[in-house]
Amino acid sequence: MGKHPMAGAPAGTGLQWQARLPEAACLPMTSESSSAKTALPAHAAAADAALPLRPRRVEQIIAGQPTSDGAGVKLTRVLTQNLQRRLDPFLMLDAFGSDRPGDYIAGFPDHPHRGFETVTYMIAGRMRHRDSAGHEGLLENGGVQWMTAGRGVIHSEMPEQEAGVMEGFQLWLNLPGRDKMQPPWYRDFPAGELPRYTSAAGVAVTVIAGASGGVTGAVTRQAAAPLYLDLHFPDGGARFVQPLPADHNAFVYVYRGTAEVGGQPVPVQRMAILANEPQADGGVVETTGPARALLIAGRPLGEPIAQYGPFVMNTAAEIHQAVQDFHAGRLGR
């Protein structure tokens, strides 16, 4: 996913790229977080009582921005560009979901990427991936597609359905400078191949990346050490605890029901950014009823971010080179 890099750019002129240097960020809590707290059921409060801990508090709650991408696919951009440094190594999180074919049927025709990875998690629907490196795969209900753009790839993501619900997420994970020009890589993980477990409190956990509850995810990465969990809470509610290194950036996105994160109420379709505090050693998500949420965390790379559309590098010069390579037909070879 991602728009054509030359859309709106004057021919032969400087690009509208953004370079961001490492900086500390401390964002205020929004007024959205002041709703009344609901008491948790006894079994949820007792579950995992021996685990952290000193849970992280919520620093900010984000609503996301409705937008469209590709050939007009309607979606919500939850993690936007202004949060890239705060949530380093993550660059973007899009949530898409509709039962109206007109919102998604045009899909994402051929477009390029360089310098990062994309992780597409399909809750419901069918989408076909094809790319210039010769990879092809069908992403279906509950499956994950992990693509490393590396030095460059041109790909398409097109729906293979004409009706029904299409719902899912796409996460962009940055690569460190030393890895940005590695060869492209791609892997499909059908739902049945994704590692899963159920916690003692009854939370069904899908481990897409990283490790949780002694279960290693489908993908691991050394540099950013990403953690990507999909949490399904039972009808009676439950408490889920995940240890997190204090220096890793982390957030929770609630996409069904409501939850409390670190004791703070978080409404549906909201992202809660977890504060980075030296004394905190984990994240806690609690519900009083059925709910679903993503818990995502990773080690910040601490490198400059230069982005122009679907190209993410460290410097302006590298961005210009990426665009030149694309126009010269060198991207994706």
Domain for residue 4, yes or no? no
Domain for residue 264, yes or no? yes
DSSP 21: -
Q: For the chain, state the CA radius of gyration.
A: 20
Amino acid, res. 296: I
Domain for residue 74, yes or no? yes
Contact of 145 with 139, CB cutoff 8 Å: yes
Distance CA 212, CA 222 (A): 16
Residue 298 has pLDDT above 80, yes or no: yes
How many domains does the structure of the chain reveal?
Answer: 1
Domain for residue 44, yes or no? yes
Sign of the alpha-carbon torsion through 261, 267, 271, 273? negative
Distance CA 251, CA 21 (A): 21
Higher-confidence residue of 93 and 22: namely 93
Mean confidence (pLDDT) of the chain = 86
- Segment 272-297 shows an average pLDDT of 96
CATH code for the domain in which residue 274 is found: 2.60.120.10
pTM value is: 0.86
State the DSSP H helix or E strand holding residue 44, giving kind and residue range, or none if neither: helix 42-46
Domain for residue 22, yes or no? no
**pLDDT confidence of residue 141:** 96
Domain for residue 102, yes or no? yes
Sign of the alpha-carbon torsion through 78, 79, 80, 82? positive
Domain for residue 16, yes or no? no
pLDDT digits (tens, 9 = 90+) for 157-216: 999 988 999 999 999 999 999 999 999 999 999 999 999 999 999 999 999 999 999 999
Domain that holds residue 203: 27-327
**pLDDT confidence of residue 332:** 73
**pLDDT confidence of residue 51:** 59
Domain for residue 2, yes or no? no
- Segment 289-309 shows an average pLDDT of 98
- Segment 48-60 shows an average pLDDT of 75
Strand 282-287 to 238-243 pairing: antiparallel
Give bridge partners of residue 243 from the DSSP assignment: 282
Distance CA 92, CA 171 (A): 6
**pLDDT confidence of residue 15:** 32
DSSP codes joined into one string, 202-243: --EEEEEESEETTEE-SB--TTT--EEEEEEE-TT-EEEEEE
